[in-house]
Chains A and B, each alone.
Chain A
């Protein structure tokens, strides 16, 4: 096990620029005092890895395996919890809640909007507080990142599919001889998710990457993407609402579904109990097995590049 140095940063309003940590690429905790939440971030050194799988037992959409180069970034140690997510859903959105207009402008942000509160119980009675937040759309998960960015002045986003798989493989997450030590899945849960961080972390110190809840990544799902994806920091930018990629499997999945290369995809039917048209941009009604974690690139991109990450919502007219 790699021992991680915990390095806590307090944001005093003078430290904003990501590059300042170039010499100090360490784990840290992001604390929002007003919202009483802390998000632990783990430093992940970039590198080149083989993405996908070539062996005959794996699915066609995991092929061909191919070399991918990933830059340094931080990744959330845990899935975002309900208390961390509710701070956004039920937060105040006055300008005083966020960084200065100038700072926001540098982050490609002109406005931050909050999710509508859900009408029903989105936790499906499986637990709140430090259980993982679920049922949010990919757009909502990304808007959470935008909210976090606007509060801290530091660029947070969802991981790309490649970054997620890189962490999973580099951390040897699915190599544990006994998967139940690191993951919650159908055979070892009671038909529900569990509090984050109860299982052993992977070798990078990241918990629950496999199982517990599937995790949104930034990409459009395309079964053939691997045959044409760029080598360096690939990201299949979404242009359609469905399907988008989720990774890692969840409490609902059988053990064989949990591995670093398996690719999940979002479905229209995850909103089947939304009686309104258009359907909610913020909530699924039937995805209590999907959550997310955040990442932060070590080198903060330019304003123009950041803007490409703030996807706009595509209205959902529901086809089933």
Chain B
């Protein structure tokens, strides 16, 4: 029996640009070509958010195209910006690095000047600021590479979805750093699931169980705002908790393979191990059950607890067989009698982080359009829905969550390092922690 092309009705969900296994871009035929930058036109690049990932993304963009040059940088902190510039200087000749001292923009609101100076922008700040940066970049007619997640709250999601429509209308390319979409083992698995190799998906399990990430302890000279910005992982308005900041990758794979987003979520979570003063107010574990239309259930687990079993991968059960994928480049599809349907050999796979930029610049040059923002927003929202479920201990539907006035992030243009952040510690330096059963969203 041939499965239907899509297993789920795509409510509010349009499939992003599909990539054939060979990395060939299929331009949606409803779009006419955007202006072609001929091969020799210099493309000006700007980066907003100069951490390790931002620096990595710049280096990939500069390698993706011969005639691209970095002309502007922005960051909340000058030391981060200068460190990134110095690292890039060690990697690239001056022909690619053309950032004048006057084009190094520092502080809140610095994103605007950097975006203004470029044709293509890289948005790699912590996710809380992404909606505002993306909205502005699109309003100024820029092509965009932006990292996941795309927001930390529902208000941000709505902003991104609106801007995504404008970007499409303006034929701007938008690539999102959910790089599994650009990784051969995942692309091949997706194509095979579409073909019906494992039948209809009925369930799955997705994981990001690890030891956790860096901590930047408080320094005496810091204002509360500077401390939170430096130690951003532990504050929801900036980071969104690890279920969003990391685990979005695996949740996104579930949406992608199933072909839609969940209709509701319920779950449990808390702070069991990581609960010091420098750990803000995020949880260290979340377990969520996402229910999709047609009763498909995805179990999601993420954990930041040193010494526990680590695991970052995805498994799906179909009516005819199973699929296993992981970020390391594995893909194994099997029938229920154990026989192999497909095993992926990743020996010569291209680095997905580089491929994102190769395709972005190729698309810009050829006057084509990649539109990843909507899918990125839906996957971001799926993780936020999971977070609402674990914080509240309640079952929450997609529609209920999307109807909320859920806004964690202030307007960046009003902020200074003396501003009071949206969340503040009590006299003992502790932040209010969500309490399942008491914390309310609906």
Using a CB–CB cutoff of 8 Å, the interface residues on chain A facing chain B are 86, 89-90, 116-125, 128, 269, 272-278, 285-286, 288, 315, 317-318, 320
Provide the bound-state CA to CA distance between A274 and B212, in Å: 16
Smallest Cβ-Cβ distance to A121: which chain B residue: B310
Please determine whether B351 and A121 come into contact, CB atoms closer than 8 angstroms.
Answer: no
Please determine whether B307 and A275 come into contact, CB atoms closer than 8 angstroms.
Answer: no
Please determine whether B307 and A277 come into contact, CB atoms closer than 8 angstroms.
Answer: no
- The smallest beta-carbon distance between B274 and chain A, in angstroms, is 11
Select which of B51, B58, B179, B210 is within 8 A of A119 by beta carbon. Answer: B210
Chain B neighbourhood of A269, CB < 8 A:
351
Interface code B207-241, partner A: CB below 8 Å = 1, 0 otherwise? 00111111000000000000000000000000000
Question: Is B354 close to A, CB under 8 A?
Answer: yes
Q: Which of B4-12, B24-32, B259-267, B326-334 lies at the interface?
A: B326-334
Please determine whether A276 and B52 come into contact, CB atoms closer than 8 angstroms.
Answer: yes
Please determine whether A318 and B59 come into contact, CB atoms closer than 8 angstroms.
Answer: yes
In chain B, positions 26-63 with a C-beta closer than 8 Å to chain A are 51-53, 55-59
Provide the bound-state CA to CA distance between A119 and B311, in Å: 10
Please determine whether A90 and B312 come into contact, CB atoms closer than 8 angstroms.
Answer: no
Given contacts A125-B311, A286-B328, are A119 and B246 in contact (CB under 8 A)? yes
Chain A neighbourhood of B84, CB < 8 A:
277
Question: Is B100 close to A, CB under 8 A?
Answer: no
Closest 10 CB pairs of A and B: A276-B52, A121-B310, A277-B55, A117-B211, A277-B56, A272-B351, A90-B306, A317-B91, A120-B312, A121-B312
Please determine whether A90 and B211 come into contact, CB atoms closer than 8 angstroms.
Answer: yes
Chain A neighbourhood of B330, CB < 8 A:
124
Provide the bound-state CA to CA distance between A124 and B91, in Å: 30
Please determine whether A275 and B313 come into contact, CB atoms closer than 8 angstroms.
Answer: no
Chain B neighbourhood of A315, CB < 8 A:
87, 90
Please determine whether A277 and B87 come into contact, CB atoms closer than 8 angstroms.
Answer: yes
Please determine whether A320 and B310 come into contact, CB atoms closer than 8 angstroms.
Answer: no
Please determine whether B87 and A317 come into contact, CB atoms closer than 8 angstroms.
Answer: yes
Q: Could you list some 24 contacts between A and B, CB below 8 A? A: A86-B307, A117-B212, A117-B213, A117-B306, A118-B310, A119-B246, A120-B312, A121-B210, A121-B310, A123-B310, A128-B310, A269-B351, A272-B351, A273-B327, A273-B352, A275-B353, A276-B51, A277-B52, A277-B59, A286-B329, A317-B59, A317-B87, A318-B59, A320-B354
Provide the bound-state CA to CA distance between A315 and B84, in Å: 13
Smallest Cβ-Cβ distance to A123: which chain B residue: B310
Please determine whether B353 and A273 come into contact, CB atoms closer than 8 angstroms.
Answer: yes
- The smallest beta-carbon distance between B328 and chain A, in angstroms, is 5
Question: Is B438 close to A, CB under 8 A?
Answer: no
Question: Is B309 close to A, CB under 8 A?
Answer: yes
Using a CB–CB cutoff of 8 Å, the interface residues on chain B facing chain A are 51-53, 55-59, 84, 87-88, 90-91, 177, 179, 209-214, 246, 306-307, 309-313, 326-330, 351-354
Provide the bound-state CA to CA distance between A147 and B55, in Å: 31
Provide the bound-state CA to CA distance between A318 and B59, in Å: 9
Select which of B52, B55, B58, B327 is within 8 A of A120 by beta carbon. Answer: B327
Chain A neighbourhood of B55, CB < 8 A:
276-278
Chain B neighbourhood of A278, CB < 8 A:
52, 55, 87
Smallest Cβ-Cβ distance to A116: which chain B residue: B214
Chain A neighbourhood of B59, CB < 8 A:
277, 317-318
- The smallest beta-carbon distance between B337 and chain A, in angstroms, is 18
Please determine whether B209 and A121 come into contact, CB atoms closer than 8 angstroms.
Answer: yes
Provide the bound-state CA to CA distance between A209 and B382, in Å: 47
Chain A neighbourhood of B210, CB < 8 A:
117-121
Smallest Cβ-Cβ distance to B213: which chain A residue: A119
Chain B neighbourhood of A276, CB < 8 A:
51-53, 55-56
Smallest Cβ-Cβ distance to A278: which chain B residue: B87
Provide the bound-state CA to CA distance between A277 and B57, in Å: 8
Residue from B53, B306, B312 whose CB has the most chain A CB atoms within 10 Å: B312
Given contacts A86-B307, A120-B210, A276-B56, are A125 and B313 in contact (CB under 8 A)? yes
Select which of A122, A288, A318 is within 8 A of B310 by beta carbon. Answer: A122
- The smallest beta-carbon distance between A276 and chain B, in angstroms, is 3
Please determine whether A288 and B328 come into contact, CB atoms closer than 8 angstroms.
Answer: yes
Provide the bound-state CA to CA distance between A116 and B88, in Å: 23
Chain B neighbourhood of A122, CB < 8 A:
310
Provide the bound-state CA to CA distance between A317 and B327, in Å: 21
Chain A neighbourhood of B214, CB < 8 A:
116
- The smallest beta-carbon distance between B96 and chain A, in angstroms, is 13
Provide the bound-state CA to CA distance between A128 and B91, in Å: 36
Chain A neighbourhood of B313, CB < 8 A:
121, 125
- The smallest beta-carbon distance between A154 and chain B, in angstroms, is 27
Chain A neighbourhood of B310, CB < 8 A:
118, 120-123, 128
- The smallest beta-carbon distance between B325 and chain A, in angstroms, is 12
Please determine whether A124 and B212 come into contact, CB atoms closer than 8 angstroms.
Answer: no
Smallest Cβ-Cβ distance to A117: which chain B residue: B211
Residue from A117, A128, A320 whose CB has the most chain B CB atoms within 10 Å: A117
Please determine whether B311 and A121 come into contact, CB atoms closer than 8 angstroms.
Answer: yes
Chain A neighbourhood of B91, CB < 8 A:
277, 317
Chain B neighbourhood of A285, CB < 8 A:
328
Chain B neighbourhood of A286, CB < 8 A:
328-329
- The smallest beta-carbon distance between A254 and chain B, in angstroms, is 13
Residue from A89, A116, A125, A288 whose CB has the most chain B CB atoms within 10 Å: A125
Smallest Cβ-Cβ distance to A279: which chain B residue: B56
Chain A neighbourhood of B327, CB < 8 A:
120, 273
Smallest Cβ-Cβ distance to B212: which chain A residue: A117
- The smallest beta-carbon distance between B291 and chain A, in angstroms, is 26
Residue from A124, A128, A274, A320 whose CB has the most chain B CB atoms within 10 Å: A124
Provide the bound-state CA to CA distance between A269 and B347, in Å: 10
Chain A neighbourhood of B329, CB < 8 A:
286
